[in-house]
Chains A and B, each alone.
Chain A
Amino acid sequence: MTRHHVSRRDFLKRTTASAAAVTISAPAIAEGAPGRVVVVGGGFAGATCARALKRINPRISVTLVEASHAFTACPFSNNVIAGLRELKAQQFDYKRIEGSGIEVTFEPATRIDTDARTVVLSDVARVPYDRLVLAPGIDIRWDGLSGYTEAAAERMPHAWRAGEQTLLLRKQLESMEDGGLVVISAPANPFRCPPGPYERASLIAHYLKTRKPKSKILILDAKDAFSKQSLFLAAWKELYPDLIEWVPLSKGGRVTSVDPSTNTLTTEFGSHKAAVANVIPPQKAAHIAAVVGAANKTGWCPIDPVTFESKLQENIHVIGDASIAGGMPKSAFAANSQAKACAAALAKLLAGEKPEEPKLINTCYSLVAPDYGISVAGVYEPRNGQLTDVKGAGGVSPANAPRSARQLEANFANGWFKTITEEVFG
């Protein structure tokens, strides 16, 4: 354990030399102590934050608590579903993070004792903290859609947390007969990755177009509008005419119940029997957020936009999908950007200094086809207690761009995944 980065001998030598100063007063102790930070969740938000903290101030002791030894990334998992990529390319381990002076504990955090400032792990092991970062991502709301249980997800995959679910959906598409109906149910806002369902529909269409051209995709949506909508709709017309049908809320798109025994999705207007059903259900901040009392009645965690400190729990900071980050969407890009800003604020707070106002960026690339990329971008800053879009900045790729620009953005999308996973896990 390399908690203090000072060998015992060095420590003794130096403390003897300054023995006269040992009667130091209490406030000075607080100023001089570098502090202990525990990060719960080693995804895009948590792993980034742990590393950024160590880089800013190597003397801060950083412990990362992560439930799993291997991380499976969701960005580009739609390519896996469409047979364009293998799941292995999505998987990362924590070796490099462990090698950078961060203690990684592979156990789920089950509870947090906020009075004792201690994270309780499953085997009753405890990790004390001065400041806690919660970055646990999402959970499915298993009570959010009638009929959609964990067992139902084995027949009607959500594939909204990458891994087995991703492979299950891919396998179902591969074994579907030509002419089959693929139904995707998209949830109301907010949810992880707002353009994700539509990128998924696009890449499944890309697969069906050549392999099973008589098939169709029906998107049943609980919304009347979605991210990059006009770009997606225009591209579908161009690339996949008559292959994808989108049914918005106002046309009866909202799925009210599902029946896994018949693979049927029911809306207020009728029922659809699917050959392959991809149910993207309502979501909430992962369980631990509610356990510690950092989530409000929406299921997500309100935060201060400068420090990311929970508005409900002192000394607990929430980043990534679990947080309510104002105008920022729930994306890996945003999670990474928030994590770095949060690390800067934590380093300042632990040093007894005032955190600076951050400025954040989000960019979500989507692939409509492997060589056709589009993006939505935003710049954010704290305003009126919220992370707010900087006016005049951001927006989506131009509607009238030539195919060469779409090709460029597809290249940048691939490059982005490499940059970000290198920064987080490399």
Chain B
Amino acid sequence: MKRIYCLAALAVLFASTSAAPAIDVAPAGAAACSGCHPMSRAVETPFTRLTGRNPADIVTATQEFRTGQRPATVMGRLAKGFTDDEIKAIAAWYAAQKE
């Protein structure tokens, strides 16, 4: 009985705080970009960082990769798998990420 009481109290606690920090689930596809473009500053790689960037730049670049206007080793092949709406959502999400 006591245990149930505790669980219920915990539930209240979490229910009351859960409204504040919403669950930050990245839009479809966004999490896959960080397989190459690092989220962390601690790593030095030839891939650019997408975090904290102007979203319009990411959208434009991706569109140009898709048409082949912008030269690429791999981004052309990847960009073709995303719609404009998807890329806009991904770019907005990265723009809002600190690190």
Contacts between the two chains (Cβ within 8 Å), count = 168
A179 at the interface (CB under 8 A from B): no
Residues of B within 8 A of A15 (CB): 9-10, 12-13
Q: Quick check: A393 and B12 within 8 Å, CB to CB?
A: no
Q: Quick check: A28 and B15 within 8 Å, CB to CB?
A: yes
B56 at the interface (CB under 8 A from A): no
**Bound-state Cα–Cα, A340 to B32, Å:** 8
Interface string of B18-32 (1 = CB under 8 A from A): 100001111111011
B54 at the interface (CB under 8 A from A): no
Instruction: Please count how many residues in chain B sit with their CB below 8 Å of the partner chain's CB atoms.
Output: 44
**Bound-state Cα–Cα, A390 to B25, Å:** 22
**Bound-state Cα–Cα, A14 to B13, Å:** 7
Q: Quick check: A416 and B36 within 8 Å, CB to CB?
A: yes
**Bound-state Cα–Cα, A379 to B40, Å:** 23
Known: A344-B26, A411-B46. A394 touches B77 (CB 8 A): yes
Interface string of A394-409 (1 = CB under 8 A from B): 1101000000010011
CB distance from B38 to the nearest CB of A (A): 5
Q: Quick check: B10 and A416 within 8 Å, CB to CB?
A: no
From B90, which residue of chain A is reached at the shortest CB distance?
Answer: A359
CB distance from A254 to the nearest CB of B (A): 32
Known: A28-B15, A360-B32, A392-B80. A377 touches B45 (CB 8 A): no
Residues of B within 8 A of A375 (CB): 73-74
Residues of A within 8 A of B (CB): 4, 6, 11, 14-15, 18-19, 21-24, 28-29, 31-34, 52, 56-57, 59, 333, 336-337, 340-341, 344, 347-348, 351, 353, 356-361, 363, 375, 377-379, 381, 390, 392-395, 397, 405, 408-409, 411-412, 414-416, 418-420, 422-423, 426
Sample of 19 A–B contacts (CB below 8 Å) = A11-B10, A15-B12, A33-B7, A333-B35, A337-B35, A340-B32, A341-B31, A341-B32, A356-B28, A361-B33, A363-B74, A390-B81, A393-B81, A412-B36, A414-B45, A416-B47, A418-B45, A419-B45, A423-B34
